[in-house]
Amino acid sequence: MPLRLLNRELSWLAFNRRVLTLAEEVGIPLLERLKFCAICSANLDEFFQVRVAALKDQVAAGVTQQAPDGLSPQAQLAAIATTADRFVVDQETMLDHLLDELAEEGIEVVDWPALTILDHMHLIGVFEQRIFPVLTPLAVDPAHPFPYISNLALSLAAMVSDPDTGERRFARVKVPNVFPRLIALPDGKRFLPVEQLIAAQLHTLFVGMVVEEHAVFRVTRNADLTLEEEEADDLLAAVEMELRRRRFGRAVRLEVQEGISEEMLELLVRELDLDRADVTVHRNPLDLTCLFQLHALERPDLKDAPWPPITAGRILRAEGQDRSIFSVIRERALMVHHPYESFASSVENFIAQAADDPRVQSIKMTLYRAGGDSPIARSLMRAAERGVQVAVLVELKARFDEATNVGWAKTLERSGVHVVYGLVGLKTHAKCVLVVRNDGDGLRRYCHIGTGNYNSKTARTYEDVGFLTCDPGVGSDVTALFNHLTGYSRAVEFQSLLVAPRDMRNQLVDLIEHEMTFGEDGRIVAKLNSLADPEMIQMLYRASQAGVQIDLIIRGVCCLRPGVPGLSENIRVRCVLGRYLEHSRLLRFEHGEGESPLFLIGSADWMGRNLDRRIEVLVPVVHPKHQAWLDQVIDFDLADDIVRHELDPGGVWHRRGPAVFHHGDSQERFYRWVNERQRA
């Protein structure tokens, strides 16, 4: 029998490959397919900056302990290198086909040698006016050591010689990001990668010298944030210091242009303290996030038709009657499903009304990824400035949003908001808001608990569920949670919520064990971003052996092996992808016949970090209409006639469903269903 667990890192790479398959799906518009190529590159950058960097740190520290799947850090790095190389080759082949199709639509990414003399003259003018003044060539010689290469910066390496003395020097030219990566020609339909224009004009940077050769390269560095919180007197200052140190993280990957000479490649590998296994070679332009620039073109015929979000029906009716959102929540708890239902008219509106309502006495919330321009943060500032007690837990350690969150923490504090940073050693990943309002008949606590971040931008593209309620039990638990996070108290017993790291793991184990008592009448459905925790996987194996039917809808990492005889034959795993990032966490425990099913939504995936090292919240969804809505989500995602990927016992994902993506797009079906309900 194979090992019980799949490797987490290789499972993530398999997820990124599933994203890449969207670039070849018949029925997805061309520029959207190109966008998925760009997303894959951005994903891979983050993977190397964090996951590969962590493995390299383990190797450097002499760690030989095997991961739960049986692979040592060194073995994982070797497997990752092989898999990543194969992925790059396949991605470039895919891009070749997409660029050919794009050219047929009148949009071309062109190469310098293929352009006309008139094109060259125009581009040289662009170079002289906009590019040349901001370039800085850096030569390497006894007086000039090898320059520091910043993380993910695009660079040109050049070998330059003196025609009189024959002396040769290596030089590096950084490609600044103050101008577009793809330079548009006058027709607006052809685009030249800017590094090719710079390469063609390198002689103007090394006057009187001979540029013998050049090549484009890019370095990826360790960008994970390492904090000793217990030793930090000021967490905000400590995070800012770590952000400065991040710029100088150890190199973990070198990307180079095909055709680079062995001499130049050896120099880069040596100076960056890398191995040849850390090098990936590219035929196409490095850093395919530049494709987002093409996706931004005004070509609606090559993009998805817009799906405008609707305002949830009960909120819409209240607006027509000039009633507040608080009156809607008092009537009955409200569940909203983004981005099908508008985040702006629900969650943002809830906090904006709270900020301006004279009856509101306090607002508390968590901010994990607020985003760059946050209407929610501005509402909180407005509330504080008019005297409302506002307390915000800003998670400074939200990966790759640390700098943004540091900025918001300072801005909020200047507006009079009480800003706290959570508990030492734990990230606060829970999505919670607590509004205390004097309703005339007494104080009432209005709560929002969600699966997604309070981020206006991602709320338009991430699929998430939010729950708004004034239920006294939920309000009491959320109050206790904030008191624990902002004050000094021992963890309390929560009556309604499942809260990590205190109780959630044990409560989930209890729920799985309870389902096992029903045998073949038991059923579990879990919609998660990732499933990697060995204990939770072991519990699912036990449930399968007890006859429980288990359906897992996992977007990303899945370390469980489904369908293994005697171990997991009653477990099925599928992945559903589309224009929206499937982000909601939804659990359904059937409880057999005679008991009502239990539905839970919240912020926690089934990973060790979520269950043991983060503040996470799950909330029960009890109203029959809300449960019916969540059942509809499950039904669409588990339908036999949708496009999805299914995981086999050997850890291989297989595409299933209609040949044309449009015919089996579960998200489009759900969008139509939501709109039909609105019209009804």
Catalytic residues: 429
Cβ burial of 298 (10 Å; 0-12, 13-18, 19+) is exposed
Q: What is the DSSP letter of 145?
A: P
Taking CA atoms, 445 is separated from 412, 438, 467, in Å, by: 23, 9, 14
Burial code (b: 16+ CB inside 10 Å, e: under 16) for 175-199 equals beeeeebbbebeeeebbbbbbbbbb
* Cα gap 523→505, rounded to integer Å: 19
User: Apex CA 533: angle with CA 6 and CA 22, to 5°?
Assistant: 55
Find all residues with CB under 8 Å of 58, minimum gap 6, and list them: 73
Taking CA atoms, 450 is separated from 175, 339, 429, 490, in Å, by: 41, 13, 11, 25
Secondary structure of residue 108 in the 3-state scheme: strand
Residues 548 and 523: beta-carbon distance below 8 Å: yes
For every residue of 400-432, DSSP letters joined together read: T-HHHHHHHHHHHHHTT-EEE---TT-EE---E
Query: What would the two tokens of residue 303 be?
Result: 């993009």
Residues 526 and 505: beta-carbon distance below 8 Å: no
Residues 365 and 350: beta-carbon distance below 8 Å: no
Q: Which of 209, 129, 210, 217 is nearest to 173 (CA)?
A: 217
Task: Name the amino acid, one letter, at 304.
Answer: D
Query: What would the two tokens of residue 503 be?
Result: 């109780």
* Cα gap 558→533, rounded to integer Å: 9
> Among all chains, which residue has been given the structure tokens 């330059």?
160
> Among all chains, which residue has been given the structure tokens 């970090």?
609
Cβ burial of 145 (10 Å; 0-12, 13-18, 19+) is exposed
Residues 465 and 670: beta-carbon distance below 8 Å: no
Query: What would the two tokens of residue 364 be?
Result: 């508390």
> Among all chains, which residue has been given the structure tokens 């055709």?
259
* Cα gap 177→196, rounded to integer Å: 15
